[in-house]
Amino acid sequence: MDYLAALESDVRDAILAWYGIHARPLAFRRTSDPYAVLVSEVIAQQTQAERAAIRWERFMTRFATVESLAAASPADVLREWQGLGYDRRGLALWRAARIIVEQHRGRVPASIDALEALPGIGPYTARAVAAIAFGLPVGAVDVNVRRVISRIVGGPEGLPTAGVQAIADAAASTTDPATWTHAVMDFGATVCRPRNPLCGDCPVRPTCRMAGTSDRRAATTEISARRTTPFHATNRWLRGRILDRLREAHHHEWVVLDAPIGIHALDRVHRAASTLAAEGMIEIEAGFGNGGLRARLATH
């Protein structure tokens, strides 16, 4: 299949026309400032778009420039990140800001390679920043974009990853890359959904190779498997509770961890704290209380 020519112009035009009417009014779409776009994309990596937009505004109020983020302490960033989950993202963004200030003179780099070299920035985020902030003709492929292109072009058989990326890049090169990026993401999130897609409302249904099929495998792509372990029993839950306790403490105040948290025994609490310290998110000292240790959010 000629992937570079696979997404026909009338399909692209139909999605863009749909977006012109149905675009979600997300706050971060009002800017093309590279730093603001980078922050929005990192926040949105594992956060629903509507919630990400609200928290993005708050984060940008607290850290309005890349310099202000780079000058903050990890504790400052982790407190602001509370409730967004996957706290490593916040710390990675802080580290990326420091690199941008130290190695790029405070300017977010425009090239894909330089963006991917930053902490916490993978292929999707790098291409989203390049397309939205710098207008580069590259396709940012997240799960929504992959699903839309795979269904329209590949049908029940789907498409290989390289084919999806080639089609996304080709589509971005024929129009405004930022608008196309937002449009195809919104289309996948609200119409071409992983479960129960709104095919009756789809403007590209006449062209879509998935239309009229009953292939459940393709129609339910990216649906997460049911969790077999209760969330409160996971290490992720425990890590989050430890960080929340430290966030609630006064600035630089130590908190003694000398008792179980939830169903997690003290030794598991200490192991989780040690891992958080190794990742640079907290600082710990042993020998406090009844076999406890004390901890605080990282100060540098």
Measured distance CA(169)–CA(172) in Å, rounded: 5
Catalytic residue among 8, 41, 67, 157: 41
Q: Is 41 a catalytic residue?
A: yes
Active-site residue list: 41
